[in-house]
């Protein structure tokens, strides 16, 4: 993406202790980016616009990631069908060769006399009977060869049709992926343009609004009793947590799965893969296919999913904190669990036994620095 400008602006913002804040529930949404100059809009209105752009970029990113996963599977399916088609065609060629040999043998040994007359005219009837048995066996082999030839031909035709259909689907997925990639880039360019249009004073005001908003949301969330006492992780969960913590400070990049950068679900999927349990690639698939767990039963390594569309995900660390890749321009960091609207939680290893003793990993200096919000939205998502 053309993210150099975005990176420079966001780096300057983070260095100054500036992060983007949520809009309070009572704030009225401001006009869209095209409905007036930045100086004419309230801080809450600017934040609403920026959050909407981030949210659109997240949704486009997850769509891109999902298509990429389907495209990988489709490529493997096409390769498997082509390999099976090659084997069937080789078998068909062998069957045709065997059928040709049988046809030549039948032609060379053809006779106008029926087997009954040959038996009556034979000097040695027993020999004729034995010969008839051999002929019968050969006839059976001929029938089997013809049957195999017919079956291989039918199978080859069927596989060829399936391979063509699978390839057509692969081409369609590839074209869809290109469109989704362009959609992500377009939305991120909109973010860049908006950030570039803001003054330092506006960025500072946004920073304060987000900081206070995150603190208030976390206080309300903890006071609600939604979280229980932290349970110990499984052995795999502990490995996933330690891997995620080792990625702190690495930049967010849409579609990235490491090792130099990650997006939100790229971080969680790779961490669990390294721990020994492969999980779906996207946050929406993680929410849909992994086992749900109540928030009061969270243990380190569980995944916390955010927003009604499940478009953001983080890994629970314990003590009400998560590790996440928040958004473009930010780095992998530790955040309060309630920094984004919680949808629920899932557990990649529901049968994993908790370890007997657990010492949380030590967090490096600056682990909590930077923006906490993922792709937040001031109000209910547009339907």
User: Where exactly are the structural domains of the chain?
Assistant: 22-198, 207-347
Would you tell me how many other CB atoms lie within 10 Å of the CB of residue 259? Answer: 9
Coil, strand, or helix at residue 339?
Answer: helix
CB atoms within 10 A of CB 47: 28
In this prediction, residues 322-339 reach a mean pLDDT of 92
More confident residue, 56 or 241: 241
Instruction: Give the integer Cα–Cα distance in Å for 325 and 339.
Output: 12
Q: How confident is the model at residue 94 (pLDDT cuts 50, 70, 90)?
A: low
| Contact status, residue 27 vs residue 378, Cβ threshold 8 Å | yes
Q: What's the rounded mean pLDDT across residues 14-39?
A: 38
Which segment of 114-128, 176-190, 208-222 scores lowest on mean pLDDT? 114-128
Identify the band that residue 169 occupies on the pLDDT scale cut at 50, 70 and 90.
confident
Mean pLDDT calculated for residue range 147-170: 73
Average pLDDT over residues 361-367: 94
Number of residues that make up the chain? 383
Contact 301, 237 (CB under 8 A): yes
In the chain, where does DSSP find H-type helix? 4-15, 43-108, 115-121, 125-197, 200-223, 235-246, 264-275, 283-289
State the average pLDDT for the chain: 75
Q: Name the residue with higher pLDDT: 217 or 37.
A: 217
Q: How far is CA 207 from CA 13, 20, 176, 373, in A?
A: 9, 5, 37, 11
pLDDT greater at residue 225 or residue 160: 225
* Interatomic CA distance for residues 228 and 206, integer angstroms: 32
Question: Looking at residue 52, what DSSP letter applies?
Answer: H
pLDDT digits (tens, 9 = 90+) for 270-302: 999 999 999 999 898 999 999 999 999 999 999
Task: Give the pLDDT confidence score for residue 21 in this predicted structure.
Answer: 34
Residue 359 has pLDDT above 80, yes or no: yes
Q: What is the mean pLDDT of residues 346-371?
A: 94
Per-residue confidence (pLDDT) for residue 202, from 0 to 100: 76
Query: Pairing mode, if any, of strands 342-347 and 291-293?
Result: antiparallel
Confidence (pLDDT) at 167 = 77
Q: What angle do helix axes 264-275 and 235-246 make, rounded to 10 degrees?
A: 130
Distance CA 359, CA 83 (A): 49
pLDDT band at 375 (very low <50, low <70, confident <90, very high): very low
Could you tell me the pLDDT band of residue 75, with boundaries at 50, 70 and 90? confident
Domain spanning 207-347: CATH 3.90.1720.10: yes
Return the percentage of the chain with pLDDT > 90, whole number. Answer: 33
Q: Which residue has the tokens 């995944």?
A: 303
The burial class, CB within 10 Å (0-12 / 13-18 / 19+), for 18 is buried
* Six-digit token string for 231: 């349970």
The structural architecture, per CATH, of the domain 22-198 is Orthogonal Bundle (1.10)
pLDDT at 278: 95
Q: Is the dihedral of CA 196, 202, 203, 206 positive or negative?
A: negative
Cα–Cα distance list, 197 to 69, 200, 327 (Å): 36, 10, 19
Least confident stretch, 55-69, 102-116, 320-334: 102-116
- How much is the pTM? 0.58
DSSP-derived letter for residue 224 is T
CB contact at 8 A, 378 and 22: yes
Higher pLDDT, 156 or 213: 213
Phi, psi of 322 (to 5 degrees): -130, 160
Q: Is 261 helix (H, G, I), strand (E, B) or coil?
A: coil
Q: At what angle do helices 125-197 and 4-15 cross, to 10 degrees?
A: 60
Regarding predicted confidence, which is higher, 264 or 165? 264
Q: How confident is the model at residue 68 (pLDDT cuts 50, 70, 90)?
A: confident
| Better pLDDT: 129 or 79 | 79
pLDDT for res 115:
53
Q: How far apart are CA 33 and CA 41, in angstroms?
A: 9
């Amino acid at each position: 993406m053309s993210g150099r400008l975005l990176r420079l602006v966001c780096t300057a913002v983070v260095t100054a202790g500036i992060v983007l804040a949520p809009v309070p529930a009572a704030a009225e949404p401001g006009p869209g980016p095209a409905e007036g100059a930045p100086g004419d809009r309230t801080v809450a209105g600017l934040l609403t616009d920026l959050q909407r752009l981030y949210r659109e970029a997240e949704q486009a990113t997850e769509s891109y990631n999902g298509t990429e996963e389907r495209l990988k599977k489709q490529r493997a399916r096409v390769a498997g069908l082509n390999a099976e088609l090659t084997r069937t065609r080789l078998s068909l060629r062998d069957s045709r060769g065997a059928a040709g040999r049988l046809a030549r043998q039948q032609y060379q040994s053809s006779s106008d006399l029926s087997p009954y007359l040959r038996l009556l005219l034979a000097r040695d009837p027993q020999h004729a009977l034995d010969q008839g048995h051999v002929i019968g066996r050969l006839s059976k082999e001929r029938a089997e060869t013809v049957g195999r030839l017919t079956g291989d031909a039918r199978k080859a035709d069927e596989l060829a049709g399936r391979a063509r259909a699978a390839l057509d689907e692969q081409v369609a997925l590839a074209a869809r992926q290109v469109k989704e990639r362009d959609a992500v880039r377009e939305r991120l360019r909109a973010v860049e343009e908006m950030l570039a249009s803001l003054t330092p004073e506006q960025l500072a005001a946004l920073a304060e609004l987000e900081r206070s908003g995150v603190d208030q949301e976390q206080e309300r969330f903890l006071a609600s009793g939604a979280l229980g006492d932290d349970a110990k992780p499984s052995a795999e969960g502990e490995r996933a947590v330690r891997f995620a913590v080792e990625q702190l400070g690495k930049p967010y990049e849409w579609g990235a799965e490491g090792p130099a950068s990650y997006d939100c679900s790229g971080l969680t999927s790779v961490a669990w893969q390294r721990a020994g349990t492969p999980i779906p690639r996207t946050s929406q698939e993680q929410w849909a296919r992994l086992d749900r767990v109540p928030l009061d039963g969270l243990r380190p390594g569980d995944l916390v999913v955010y927003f009604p569309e499940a478009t953001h995900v983080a890994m629970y660390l314990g003590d009400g904190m998560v590790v996440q890749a928040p958004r473009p321009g930010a780095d992998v960091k530790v955040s309060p669990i309630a920094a984004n609207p919680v949808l629920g939680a899932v557990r990649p290893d529901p049968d994993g036994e908790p370890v007997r003793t657990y010492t949380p990993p030590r967090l490096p200096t600056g682990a909590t620095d930077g923006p906490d919000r993922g792709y937040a939205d001031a109000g209910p998502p547009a339907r």
